[in-house]
Amino acid sequence: MNFRPRTKEEPEINLIPFIDVLLVILIFLMLSTTYSKFTEMQLRLPVADTDAQHDYPKEVVVTVSADGSYSVDRRPMAGHSLELLSAALSDGAKGSKDTVVVISADANAKHQSVVTVMEAARHAGLSQITFATQSSQTAGP
């Protein structure tokens, strides 16, 4: 008979499944926090205060009304198409590429109307764009 004492084997803890579970939990938490960040975001648009309004030597003023109609240098536009607006901006710039496009949009104008003006300026080759704002003193409550 074999009466020698047996060597006791130390139990092993396999960490690989534990690490796999922790990685899955980490990925789940990362994805869920990213989505919840966008649903909780609330915006408050700032009021722009400037020292003085700039007068540019060559400028084309584009006015966007609340209903989405345009006027270029105080001349109302007949349509709302990108091609008409681009042609009017080219005429207003008189071939000069350093003309500044000043976008004066109503506070209730659609975002798409302002983006259309920016796109028309790009088609006309005008790369300098600025926005007309009102200061907080004249904005009122």
What tens digit of pLDDT does each residue of 27-83 get?
988 877 755 444 443 434 345 665 555 666 788 888 888 888 898 888 888 888 889
The model's pTM is 0.59
Contact yes or no for 109/69 (Cβ under 8 A): no
Sequence ranges of the domains in the chain: 59-139
Cα-Cα-Cα-Cα dihedral sign, residues 109, 112, 116, 122: positive
Overall CATH class of domain 59-139 = alpha beta
- Give me the count of residues in the chain: 141
- 115 closest CA partner among 80, 87, 88: 80
Contact indicator for 83, 112 with CB cutoff of 8 Å:
no
